[in-house]
Amino acid sequence: MVTRLLGALSLMALCVTIHAGGVSGAIRQLRQRQPRARGFWSDTRLFILVAAWMVLLHLLEVSVWAVFYLWKGGMTDLQSSLYFSAITYTTTGYGDLVLKEDWKIVSGVEALTGILMCGWSTGFFMAIVSRLYEGGDARSRA
């Protein structure tokens, strides 16, 4: 159990590293972005790009957990492993696929990691929205 917990904490650290790299890369891209005429469509395009980037980061993190489950025999095939990881990471937890008893601590850490990473993404997204609209009423920019 301790070995699996250490493995889960290592995966959590890898997810934090992936997320930190992805958010840092997005910040660099946003800082380099040329100021242009702003309006509803250009703002919406930015929001869509940031949301897509965050979803891709989460999918990469889900895949890391899935590969771990497959590698260590927690799941029997990649499709099941990806599905189980996605529903665990997002805390949906349908319960149609479950890990063996001695693996449950790992899935709990994955769920906590997913909550943290989704919260981080939400905070980052809201920081962008706030920065975009700071100093004025959003309706006056459309």
pLDDT in tens, 118-128: 999 999 999 98
Please state the domain count of the chain: 1
Q: For all residues of the chain together, what is the average pLDDT?
A: 88
Q: What is the CATH number of the domain that holds 93?
A: 1.10.287
CA dist., res. 110 & res. 106, Å (int): 6
Full-model pTM: 0.86
Q: Buried b vs exposed e over 6-16: b needs ≥16 C-beta within 10 Å?
A: eebeebbeebe
Burial of 119 per CB tally in 10 Å (0-12, 13-18, 19+): exposed
Residue that is written with structure tokens 């029997």 in the block? 76
> Does 138 score more than 80 pLDDT?
no
* Mean pLDDT value of segment 14-33: 92
What lies within 8 Å, CB to CB, of 115 at 6+ separation is: 91
- CB-CB contact of 39 with 142 (8 Å): yes
The residue segments making up the domain with residue 28 are: 2-141
Cα–chain-centroid distance for residue 84?
16
